[in-house]
Amino acid sequence: MSGGTSGGTSDGTRTGNGDRLVYLCYGEGPIVAETEFSIVSSFRLDPEPAHEVVVYTDHPEHFAHLPVRVEPLSAETLAAWSGPDGYAHRRKLECVAHALREATGRVVFVDGDTWFRRPPRELFERVDARHALMHVRENTLRASRIDYNVELADHLSTHRFEDSTGRPYDFTADPPSWNSGVIGLLPEHAPLVREALGLLDRLQPAGLRLHTLEQFALGIALEQALTVREAIDVVYHYWQTEIRHPAAGRVQATLERTRGADLPTRARALHRVRPRAHGRRRARALLSGALAALGVRRPAVRANA
């Protein structure tokens, strides 16, 4: 897979340090606008990035006007990446695996429903031979008291899982769960992504209700060999429906209104309508975070406020 627009900075200059900021966007609908917004937001505080932006997509035309390189995806590739059980989120790990095979520097994958609070270069600085990156350590399965998390913990405690070498996974009584809205790795870490895919493919047929099994499997595989750092302070990930949906119309309208303007102008306009928590939700999230910091109460799911 190759082709599309040459990657580089806002003036079209090709970047060349080998680092890549990677997105995966397939199909139609709100995810296209969200991904474009996230890409533009990455230039707001880093207008002349040293990294290249790469978008894996089945609709290259959606991103032709942006300073990115496109990796076209066929329907056949997307079907293969979803695995034998047709699990859509599996494609994320396959995308990361492909990006790592093609890369010469650090790879940071970012979900489309995100925007940058701080310069993307800070993400790359957190990735090295001994450190990987994910968005946030959301919780541990049992302590979260979320029914599908507890269901997964029960399944792990009653089944044996091995990696590709035959070494058993030594799950704790309360395994951690990471959010994969950001994934940062080096090419040498690619075998860990394959291990995550192997674990995922053994968990998926069990019919577990956790729809984000891919991020659990990746977090477990990475923590087997590396220290995993967080990216929550750099990237705002608005996966929650009550944040995501109300902002969709404002983001889409602003994208259309500013299309044709320069990147800094678009980035500033989009930042003013960025999805984020407001009112009581924000107050509750801030209070929950403060109580957690004091050790009084642990939130069920750690996420951007």
Taking the domains of the chain in order of start, what are their residue ranges?
20-237
User: Which residue from 67, 31, 37 is spatially nearest to 270, judged by alpha carbons?
Assistant: 37
User: Which residue from 179, 165, 254 is spatially nearest to 222, judged by alpha carbons?
Assistant: 179
Degrees, nearest 5: CA angle 233-244-35:
75
User: Which residue from 233, 234, 305, 230 is spatially nearest to 275, judged by alpha carbons?
Assistant: 305
pTM, two decimals, is: 0.90
Measured in whole angstroms, the distance separating CA 165 from the mean position of its chain's CA atoms is 28
Measured in whole angstroms, the distance separating CA 202 from the mean position of its chain's CA atoms is 22
Tokens of 57: 């997509």
Per-residue pLDDT for the chain (305 aa), expressed as one digit of tens each? 644 443 443 333 345 589 999 999 999 999 999 999 999 999 999 999 999 999 999 999 999 999 999 999 999 999 999 999 999 999 999 999 999 999 999 999 999 999 999 999 999 999 999 999 999 999 999 999 999 999 999 999 999 999 999 999 989 899 999 999 999 999 999 999 999 999 999 999 999 999 999 999 999 999 999 999 999 999 999 999 999 999 999 999 999 999 999 999 999 999 999 999 975 655 565 555 555 556 655 678 889 86
Tell me the chain's radius of gyration from C-alpha atoms.
Answer: 19
What integer pLDDT is reported at residue 279 of this predicted model? 59
CA distance 33 to 296: 39
Domain 20-237 matching CATH 3.90.550.10: the answer reads yes
CA distance 256 to 231: 29
What integer pLDDT is reported at residue 300 of this predicted model? 84
What integer pLDDT is reported at residue 65 of this predicted model? 95
